[in-house]
């Protein structure tokens, strides 16, 4: 039986050191019916040359070059240009297991799913990719069907990865859906709507995606005004949850609060107006988050919501301490990526 073409969209910017490893892992996929779209987002280094060289080497690769517009714009350009029946994503500083696409496709084919999602990823710290161990075959993975509402709940409670690279989507999902450009956390703004457009979904548990932790990445870098888009992301998440299933409201409030609190805690004291906007956003969702007793809710989010009643200053200090503790815990986890 002929298998469908799957498009893999890779936005590329400033990752010259890491891009070859990413491309090698995609070219080595056991699922061969691929179209790999490399979207050079005006990268200032040699990424454009690397993309062109890869396209010359393998007919499945297409290199697209555009003026810099950000990761969301690059992914949208890939969605506009792709030809596959299904679409997957990868970041150009990460790499994947040889069965990455095969495992996701198995979830789609086995259960007639519109979307197959990963249950997790393997984080590693900067140059620590030598110790990363990924699955060699689909047989190492656990694959099961999952209800759309359950998948949304896990997404909002941050129990599954909140990113575009961790799934395989029927292309029709994006017929009228695009990532919001110019936002930070644009994946969180897009994924719930993608899930809601699906009739059936599957979950794939395995060590399939190696995610590089970099301090200069968009999420981990210092505060910029663009991060205030977390307020719109929270509002959108809550609205989408209510439109899908009212029982998702506490989960959406938890996510909206956590997103705003994370940015609030990294906003410098001199940014008074920004801190005020974020604090108001936190107040909007803290009641539902503080009362939420779901076992899926992250304890630190519940603690953060309840401690916000101590006032803005105490909440800010706690958030700063929590960010430092989370960074330390992540660093320790990344020290042993093979575990």
pLDDT digits (tens, 9 = 90+) for 179-221: 999 888 899 999 999 999 999 999 999 999 999 987 655 556 6
* pTM for this predicted structure: 0.92
Six token digits for residue 244: 């899908």
Q: What is the chain's Cα-based Rg?
A: 20
Tokens 């920004």 correspond to: 274
- The answer to whether residues 242 and 151 touch, using CB atoms and an 8 Å cutoff, is no
Q: Of the segments 131-135, 144-148, 226-230, 334-338, which one has the largest average pLDDT value?
A: 144-148
Separation between Cα atoms, residue 43 and residue 65, nearest integer Å: 9
28-42, 138-152, 319-333 — which is least confidently predicted? 319-333
Q: What is the structure's pLDDT at 327?
A: 60
- The answer to whether residues 156 and 237 touch, using CB atoms and an 8 Å cutoff, is yes
What phi and psi values does residue 213 have, to the nearest 5 degrees? -90, 115
- The answer to whether residues 322 and 265 touch, using CB atoms and an 8 Å cutoff, is yes
**CA end-to-end span of the chain:** 37
The strand ranges marked E within 98-254 are 115-118, 122-125, 142-146, 167-170, 201-205, 209-213
Residues paired with 65 in a beta bridge: 40
Separation between Cα atoms, residue 121 and residue 239, nearest integer Å: 28
Antiparallel, parallel or unpaired: β 209-213 and 95-96: antiparallel
Antiparallel, parallel or unpaired: β 115-118 and 167-170: antiparallel
- The answer to whether residues 127 and 139 touch, using CB atoms and an 8 Å cutoff, is no
- Is 177 strand, coil or helix? coil
CATH 3.90.550.10 fits 6-213, yes or no: yes
Separation between Cα atoms, residue 45 and residue 267, nearest integer Å: 30
Domain boundaries in the chain?
A: 6-213, 225-334
pLDDT digits (tens, 9 = 90+) for 247-273: 999 999 999 999 999 999 999 999 999
């Amino acid at each position: 039986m002929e298998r469908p073409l799957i498009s893999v969209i890779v936005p590329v910017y400033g990752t010259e050191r890491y891009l070859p490893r990413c491309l090698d892992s995609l070219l080595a996929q056991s699922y061969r019916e691929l179209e790999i779209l490399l979207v050079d987002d005006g990268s200032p280094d040699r990424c454009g040359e690397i993309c062109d060289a890869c396209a010359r080497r393998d007919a499945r690769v297409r290199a697209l070059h555009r003026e810099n517009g950000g990761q969301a714009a690059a992914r949208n350009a890939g969605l506009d240009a792709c030809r596959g029946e299904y679409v997957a994503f990868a970041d150009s500083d990460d790499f994947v297991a040889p069965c990455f696409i095969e495992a996701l496709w198995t979830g789609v084919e086995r259960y007639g799913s519109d979307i197959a999602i990963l249950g997790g990823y393997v984080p590693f710290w900067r140059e620590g990719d030598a110790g990363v161990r990924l699955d060699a075959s689909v047989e190492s993975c656990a694959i099961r069907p999952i209800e759309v509402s359950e998948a949304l709940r896990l997404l909002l409670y941050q129990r599954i990865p909140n990113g575009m690279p961790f799934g395989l989507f029927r292309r029709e999902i994006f017929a009228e859906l695009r990532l919001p450009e110019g936002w930070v956390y644009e994946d969180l703004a897009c994924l719930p709507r993608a899930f809601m457009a699906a009739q059936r979904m599957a979950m794939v548990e395995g060590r399939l995606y190696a995610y590089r932790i970099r301090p200069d990445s968009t999420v981990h870098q210092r505060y910029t005004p663009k991060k205030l888009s977390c307020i719109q992301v929270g509002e959108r998440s809550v609205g989408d949850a209510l439109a899908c299933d009212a029982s998702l409201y506490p989960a959406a409030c938890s996510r909206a609060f956590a997103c705003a609190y994370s940015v609030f805690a990294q906003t410098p004291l001199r940014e008074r107006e920004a801190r005020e906007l974020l604090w108001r956003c936190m107040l909007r969702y803290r009641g539902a988050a503080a009362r939420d007793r779901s076992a899926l809710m992250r304890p630190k989010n519940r603690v953060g919501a309840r401690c916000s009643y101590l006032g803005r200053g105490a909440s800010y200090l706690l958030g700063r301490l929590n960010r430092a503790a989370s960074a330390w815990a992540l660093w320790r986890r990344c020290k042993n990526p093979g575990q």
